[in-house]
Structures are given as C-alpha cells and as structure tokens.
Amino acid sequence: MPKTPPESPLFKEELRQFIKSALDEDVGHGDLTSLATIPADQNLSAAMVARENIVVAGMFIAVEVIKTCDPLARIEVITADGAEVVAGSIMLKVTGNARKLLTAERTALNILQHLSGIATLTRAYVHEIAHTDCRLLDTRKTIPGYRKLAKYATCMGGAMNHRMRLDDGLLIKDNHIAQLGSIKAAIDAAKAHDTSASTIGITVECDTLDQAADAVAAGADRLLLDNMTNEMLRDAVAQYKGQIKLEASGGVTLNSVKEIAETGVDYISVGRITQSAPAVDIGLDYLE
C-alpha cells in the first residue's frame, strides 16, 4: 500500500544538511551586496505573499532557512503546508536583521516555490478525480536529492506515495520480463525472494490484456496497466476489480485523468506532478 509521509519528510540532521547545502550554493562566502549596502544593525519586516492561487508545501523548510540565517528573527507562519491560498494572501511575516533576511530570501523562496508548485499541480489532478474512488499516486520521477521533499509535496496536494525507493517494493517491468523470458518466470523468481519489505506486493507492468491475464494467473498482487486505452482499462476492471489492485499509468495528463479514473481503476500514477510541475510565484514584500 502506498505510504503517507511523516509531518516532516526529513530527519533533523537531513534537514540541517539540506539547508546548509542550499545556502552554501547560493551564498558562497557572503552576500556581497547586502554587506556593502545594509548597515549591520539595521532590521526589516517583511511578508511572504502568494502571487497566484496555490497549495502550500515546504513552509517549514522556508522557516528553517530563515532561522539558520537569523536565529533571532521573529517569524509568524500564517498558512501551513497543505492549505489552499488565493493570490495576494500573506503566508508568513518576519522581522529580523536586514542583512541576514536578505541573505535567506532567495533560498527560502526557491524551495517554497518549487514544492508548492508540485502540491498545486497535484491538487488539480486530485480535484479531477475526486468524484471517484480512485487515488492519485506519485512516482520516482523526481529531481535527484529532492525525492523525499517532492513526495511530501504530492501528499500536501492530496496524492499518495508510491515507492520511495527501489527497496520499497517489487515492480516487475518489461525489462525484467525480457531478461527472464516470461511473466510467470519473473513472478516465480520474485516469490522465491524475500518479499516482506514490499509495500505493493508483487506488481507487474502490463501493456496488454493478455499480459494482465498471465500476471493474474501467475499470482501477481497488483497490475500496473501501462499506456492502455480507456476501453482496455474498463475490460481489465470488469475482469479483475476486487480480485487484484489495478493501477493505470503512462502518459496521464490533467485533461485525461478524469476519464481514466472513471474506468474504475484503483490507482493512477502520474510522473508529471513531480517531473513537470512549474514553480509557483511567491514574493517577499518588505513592510514599512
């Protein structure tokens, strides 16, 4: 079964290292402009504002970035992760040392904009299938190093996590089958292995209904129906619904996801929500 992430997807040390790496990349040896132009003791107050309608994800990281740069900053979080906000909404207020807040600004916004973009696109997909019993799943199509955060953001948008890593589950795909010669041989090999760590049982990717029949006969726990037409999906549902979990995947878009869900499949996995989600527009406006 797909997993739901903890409230924070990163352990404390992981979060510290992630923020350190992000700030090292952006700041280098120092923010030359702020050091040259802003008095050391000058404070400022600012508000983080949504420039468009979004679903928030990554606010806790933005806060930690600010705290890392200015431990004495006073921060008021107004919108928590998972919340929908409209354009013009104030998401966070902060008062602190001007130099340090200016140094933190871009790193905090980059992370928040990227993760909120994933959550926002995910929520749009979830809305399209909300009238069905189908659940949206993410995939492993993520930016390296961002896997946990991207999958956290999809959950904030209303999706469920598929495999986090390859050791989370057995998913027999076409290349595995080609190496062993048949679906049955691949499933038999999987059953001979210790499958206790698998969150999705033995799942088999099927391109045709004949392959689906072979996988069910060989004892698969779940079918990944890849790039099938809606008519093929309905046939699979008619034959196997309730007997085995059915997951549709491959080329799913915001325009097609509704009709796919209406075929009756249990899950739809979508790479686009992490692979192609645009960053949303969030700004830091300085308050007098």
Instruction: Report the C-alpha gap between 153 and 5 in whole angstroms.
Output: 10
**250 CB-contact burial (10 Å; exposed 0-12 / middle 13-18 / buried 19+):** middle
The rounded radius of gyration (Å) of the Cα atoms in the chain is 23
pLDDT at 6 over 60: no
Task: Answer yes or no: are the C-beta atoms of 200 and 267 closer than 8 Å.
Answer: no
Token duo for residue 42: 């000058």
Active site residue 173: yes
The verdict on whether 24 is a catalytic residue reads no
Catalytic residue among 3, 67, 147, 173: 173
pLDDT higher than 70, residue 5: no
Q: What is the pLDDT of residues 126-185, one digit of tens each?
A: 999 999 999 999 999 999 999 999 999 999 999 999 999 999 999 999 999 999 999 999
Q: Which residue has the higher pLDDT, 210 or 199?
A: 210
The pLDDT assigned to 3 comes to 52
Judged by DSSP in three states, 33 sits in: helix
Q: What is the mean pLDDT of the chain?
A: 94
152 Cβ neighbours under 8 A, 6+ residues apart: 5, 9, 57, 115
Helix ranges, 196-229 (H): 209-218
205 a catalytic residue: yes
Pinpoint the residues of the chain covered by CATH 3.20.20.70: 160-269
Instruction: Please report the pLDDT score of residue 44 as a whole number.
Output: 95
At the fourth CATH level, the homologous superfamily of domain 160-269 is Aldolase class I (3.20.20.70)
Active site residue 226: yes
Three-class secondary structure of residue 282 per DSSP: strand
What's the pLDDT tens digit per position in 39-51? 999 999 999 999 9
Instruction: Quick: pLDDT tens for 14-34.
Output: 999 999 999 999 999 999 999
> 3, 67, 106, 147: which one is catalytic?
106
Task: Indicate which residue of 64, 70, 138, 205 is catalytic.
Answer: 205
Q: Compute the average pLDDT of residues 118-130.
A: 98
pLDDT band at 1 (very low <50, low <70, confident <90, very high): very low
| 196 against 115, higher pLDDT | 115
Q: Which of 3, 67, 93, 141 is labelled catalytic?
A: 141
Helix, strand, coil percentages in the chain from 3-state DSSP, rounded to 5: 45, 20, 35
* pTM score: 0.94
Please give the average per-residue pLDDT across 212-238, as a whole number: 97
d(CA 240, CA 258): 21
Question: Which of the residues 221, 226, 247, 266 is marked catalytic?
Answer: 226
Domain with CATH 3.90.1170.20 in the chain: 12-126+277-287
- Which CATH superfamily groups domain 12-126+277-287? Quinolinate phosphoribosyl transferase, N-terminal domain (3.90.1170.20)
